Amino acid sequence: MMILRPIQQSDYSALVKIAHESGHGFTSLPNNEELLQKKIDRSVSSFAKSASQPGDEGYLFVLEDSETGEVVGTSGIEAAVGLDDAFYHYHLSKVIHSSRTLDVYKAVDILTLCNDYTGATELCTLFLKDGYRKNNNGKLLSKSRFMFINQHQQRFASTVIAEMRGVSDEKGDSPFWQWLEEHFFSMDFPTADYLTGIGQKVFIAELMPKYPIYVNLLSQDAQAVIGKVHDNTRPAIQLLKNEGFTFNGYVDIFDAGPTVEAKVDNIATIRNAKTLTVEIGDNQGSTNVLLANDQLVDFRATVAQLDIACNADTIILPEPVANALHLQAGDSVSVAKI
């Protein structure tokens, strides 16, 4: 059984392995052992904290194979971005160049540096090991965060965003960054990405062009990847689109990958989730359902095949599933079809 839970101090070595495997372009998991330890410390502190509004909390989850004890993936939530460090994006929009005298009318795409998502909740740090990208594991790793947000809405903003990994090759080279590097920076993409991941963002404000960039002045390769995702990220962005997330023209300043957004109340899993009372017994059904308890420090989520009556107020959980979710008969559990 695959169980999603908050990260613990004992997961340090597993997180180091995941950070190494995730490769270039995965800014939120820098291959830096000291910073990874700080991420765990911050997450443990955030789960233990009493919060009535979103602040500087960062919640990191891991996906564990209960049979082997192996940690096979991770995902996270930032309660509110940009409150301490500026949170940058480029916004893709248009300007009109026209002249009635010359009978000229032309729409031109521009990229404008902005901080429009300051204060939004961010879904982040989603990574699943190769051998486990099957059997709804990716959906569990991603969608369980919506269950957590729904159960603890005071801790999160009304707008939720997700920065999707942009196009880069196996060496970590980004066509979009190559153009920026040539004209404004003197460092390669992996270096810039790593510095951002470890919190050294001041160079962005110092070196980034302050005025809008005309897209048609970029190289053809750079233009071609604006708003496009890395091949490995396609399933993740499709999942979010199915949840109701939309792309509104905001792209990453390094690789031009898209940022998608949704209002909490419009997220499909949150809209469709039901709170049911637990009964313990046999229930070998055919419907894959996402299950999550309503706890904080002891939050648990999993996927199981069960039968659920349409208008029932209760759900029968097999004892192993209930135990894995730290649930007893009479407890409440959140349920959503996966």
Catalytic residues: 230
Cβ atoms 167, 59 nearer than 8 A? no
Rounded to the nearest angstrom, the gap between the alpha carbon of residue 238 and the centroid of all alpha carbons in its chain is 13
Neighbour-count burial of 91, counting CB atoms closer than 10 A to its CB (0-12 exposed, 13-18 middle, 19+ buried): middle
> What phi, psi does 179 have (nearest 5°)?
-70, -45
Radius of gyration of the chain (CA): 22
Q: What is the 3-state secondary structure (H, E, C) of 105-124?
A: EEEEEEEEEECCCCCCEEEE
The Cα–Cα gap between 95 and 225 comes to 20
Which backbone phi and psi does 21 adopt, to 5 degrees?
Answer: -75, -30
**Contact between 252 and 163 (Cβ < 8 Å):** yes
